[in-house]
Amino acid sequence: MMARSNHPAVANRTVLALLGAALATGGGLALAAHFDRLNWVDTNARLVPGTAAPPTWVFVALITAATALALLCLRWLYAQIFRMPTARIWRIEADDAAGHTTLASRTAALPVAADIEEFPGVRSASAWLTGHRDTPELHMIVTAEPDADVSALRRRIATEAVTALRHALEIDEITAELELRFADADRPARLH
């Protein structure tokens, strides 16, 4: 299964597009007003009539709008920081053993990323495991070289890295989500 896990990017692009459109429209209207192209704008009129302070409700409205904008900015910042699902601690107990083993899901996913980084055409890889120990979900972000064979890379990830993880965890199935990115051709590859 191939999916996109970078959900905040969609919101970022939408907000930036709307903000860009609003700023372009405002700038265009300001230029049109400056060159006297708008019939409904009097170029000789004052921008703010009089010198008296505005009514109290104007200040309340500005403070409310500024607070709402600050909260939206904090929500956006939170979405940027927490993009991937959080790791879990799994408790593994054998039927015939008296003790148990604890394993962080992130620790179990690190070898998957290390294996994928060794594949030809891969610049970097990261992996996360989430969900319950019996039904884990593997999330991978792989940055490939611009000329990488995508189908071969995807096939190798599924048949080698994911299969090795399944065997290591001793489970029959694992849900895998792969986000494949392409490296910038102008930037040199990292040396390991």
Q: What is the CATH number of the domain that holds 135?
A: 3.30.300.30
**What is the three-class DSSP state of 177?**
strand
CA end-to-end span of the chain: 29
Average pLDDT over residues 89-101: 67
Pair 72, 100 in one domain: no
**Is the entire prediction scored with pTM above 0.85?**
no
Q: Which of 81, 99, 116 is the last residue of a domain?
A: 81
Ranked by mean pLDDT, which of 69-78, 155-164, 183-192 comes out on top? 155-164
Pair 102, 170 in one domain: yes
Residue 191 forms part of a structural domain? no
- Is pLDDT larger for residue 160 or for residue 169? 160
Q: Which of 65, 81, 97 is the last residue of a domain?
A: 81
| Burial zone of 141 (CB within 10 Å; 0-12 exposed, 13-18 middle, 19+ buried) | buried
Range of the domain at 29: 7-81
Pair 75, 102 in one domain: no
Q: What is the mean pLDDT of the chain?
A: 82
Residue 122 forms part of a structural domain? yes
CA–CA separation, 56 and 78 (whole Å) = 33
Pair 94, 172 in one domain: yes
Q: What is the pLDDT of residue 7?
A: 58
Average pLDDT over residues 131-151: 87
**Range 169-184 burial, b when 16+ CB lie within 10 A, else e:** beeeebebbbebeebe
Pair 67, 106 in one domain: no
Q: What is the pLDDT of residue 1?
A: 38
pLDDT tens for each residue of 5-51? 555 677 778 888 898 899 999 999 989 988 888 888 887 777 777 77
Least confident of 2-6, 54-58, 103-107: 2-6
Pair 96, 21 in one domain: no
Average pLDDT over residues 84-113: 73
Residue 76 forms part of a structural domain? yes
Element housing 26 (H / E): helix 7-34
Give how many domains the chain has, as a whole number. Answer: 2
DSSP strand pairing (122-132 vs 135-144): antiparallel
φ and ψ at 189, to 5 degrees?
A: -70, 150
Pair 162, 96 in one domain: yes
Pair 127, 151 in one domain: yes
Pair 139, 175 in one domain: yes
Residue 192 forms part of a structural domain? no
Pair 95, 176 in one domain: yes
Q: Which of 34, 65, 81 is the last residue of a domain?
A: 81
Residue 2 forms part of a structural domain? no
